[in-house]
Amino acid sequence: MRARWLFVASVSVAGCAFGGRVPADYPQIQAETQPEAAPGPTVQEDEATVAKEARLDALTRVALAKSPLVAEARARAQAAMARVKASGRFPDLQLKYEIFGQPLNKPWALGSAQMHMFGVRLTLPPAGSLDAQTRIAMEDAKIAIGTLRTRELDVVSEVHKAWSLYWASEHEKGIHADHMEVTSKLLALARVQLVGGKTTQGDLLRFELEVSKIHGDVLVLEQQKVTSRARLNALMGRAVEAPLGPPAEPSAPVVAPRIEDVRAFVLKKRPEIAAATASVKKGEAAVDAANSEAKWPMVMVGLDYQLMPMSPMPHAYGAMVQFSLPWLSSQRSEEVKAAQAGVEADKATVKAIESAILLQVQEALARYDAQRSTLQLVETKLLPQSKKTFDATLANYGAGGGEALSVVDAERTWLQMRIERSRAIAQVEIALADIERALGAPLSALGKKSAP
């Protein structure tokens, strides 16, 4: 009796523990779902830094560590990894109880039954199907990790762009403050000349109007700064009104690579391609699973202990085996064809994604070159020319010649060119963010140096 129960218990333990093979790269892939423990400042130290000075590197680290978008993608990747081992397990062992020949006039007298049957059942999936299901789950996990990496790249890019606009609004405020000082001096000069009869009341009013316009421009820039700060804080998972220090100066523009030099690098680094490739492998595993289910039956085995209280030999056992007949149905072969067609579709998707990514890189490089050219034009020609024009107009007005309108126009042109330079720098940074997003890595990974 004791031996029989030990046998049943051993079958139960074996059925619960046995499962499909865990892929060899499981530990490596699982590690990719965990946050990187990179050397350097802690998140708390970086948050203290950005409250004093909004440095792009510190902002990026905080965003990657605290962004709810990244956290959501990471949790889904971890959930997908947890399903890998579970997918290769046998179905749950089933425990059953049956009673036979219980007299109706004695429904509660269990000793009067002809038989009590206690049994276990275990379903054995078709040969090879568990390994295929494990591979499917593993590729699902790789797809989830690809989504995580994509989300990280998106966050890094968005932080870079928001920081660029934050810097531009802060820098333009400084420019308007400088022009407010210049215009205030012009207004004082006009008042002096009005007393001496060298100018008119209309000129004085034009300078006063210009001062009011600058005040209005500063209010708009302050609103833009608040919006950019809120955007950065949201990306970092902080309260939108959290303090953020003044932005650090952008670095010098770097030399953009050529598409020919980065083609292989891009196709290797972009997580979207890795995820699409994992989809192909997932489809191939689905084909293997469908083939296994078409060729091999699903088997159920069982072992029963039979207690017969009314029999002179009250103890007995029974065994059973049951299996499906997949060869009699056309459904299985149709499922194989469907899985094979899915693989072909996934392979085409990989090619389409590769082409789209290379186009994205080419467009980003072209935008970056255009923005660098625009910045160079403003810095080397437009800005110096507007400053010379203003200086000449101001000198003429100070000597008693010309009108205030000419001075205001020249000052406005100089102000606009300074603003254009600030915005061009921001656009260069935004274009750089687009390039690094398209590459799937910072430009520093390519070993490029700053432009002279």
Residue 36 lies in domain: 2-445
Report helix, strand or coil for 123: strand
At 207 the pLDDT is 65
The reply to whether 17 falls in a domain is yes
Q: How many domains are there within the chain?
A: 1
Q: Which tokens go with 61?
A: 């680290």
The reply to whether 386 falls in a domain is yes
Diameter over CA atoms, the chain: 136
Q: Are 351 and 327 in contact (CB under 8 A)?
A: no
Q: Which of 149, 52, 239 is nearest to 231 (CA)?
A: 239
Q: Which tokens go with 257?
A: 């690579």
Q: Give this prediction's pTM.
A: 0.81
Element housing 295 (H / E): helix 271-295
Strand order in the sheet with 315-323: 94-100, 115-124, 299-307, 315-323
The reply to whether 221 falls in a domain is yes
The reply to whether 180 falls in a domain is yes
φ, ψ for residue 39 (rounded to 5)?
-65, 150
The reply to whether 411 falls in a domain is yes
Q: How far is CA 202 from CA 116, 186, 207, in A?
A: 112, 14, 9
CATH code for the domain of 310: 1.20.1600.10
The reply to whether 452 falls in a domain is no
Give the pLDDT of the chain (452 residues) as one tens digit per residue.
454 444 444 444 444 444 557 778 888 888 888 887 667 788 898 889 988 989 999 999 999 999 999 999 999 999 999 999 888 888 889 999 999 988 888 888 888 889 999 999 999 999 888 999 999 999 999 999 999 999 999 999 999 999 999 999 888 888 877 777 776 666 666 676 665 565 566 666 676 777 777 777 777 778 888 888 999 999 998 898 899 998 888 887 777 788 888 888 899 889 999 999 999 999 999 999 999 999 999 999 999 999 998 888 999 999 999 999 998 888 888 999 999 999 999 999 999 999 999 999 999 999 999 999 999 999 999 999 988 988 888 788 677 666 666 777 787 888 888 889 998 999 999 999 999 999 998 888 876 433 33
CA–CA separation, 162 and 230 (whole Å): 9
At 311 the pLDDT is 87
- Number of helices and strands (H, E) in the chain? 12, 4
At 446 the pLDDT is 77
> Rg of the chain's alpha carbons, rounded to an integer?
37
Q: Which tokens go with 112?
A: 């009067």
Exposed, middle or buried: residue 429 (CB in 10 Å: 0-12, 13-18, 19+)? Answer: buried
Q: Which tokens go with 4?
A: 């029989």
CA–CA separation, 265 and 8 (whole Å): 58
Exposed, middle or buried: residue 71 (CB in 10 Å: 0-12, 13-18, 19+)? Answer: middle
DSSP state of 99: E
CA 300 to chain centre: 45
Percent helix / strand / coil, the chain, rounded to 5: 70, 10, 20
The reply to whether 451 falls in a domain is no
Half-sphere exposure of 27 (CA within 13 A, CB side): 1
The reply to whether 184 falls in a domain is yes
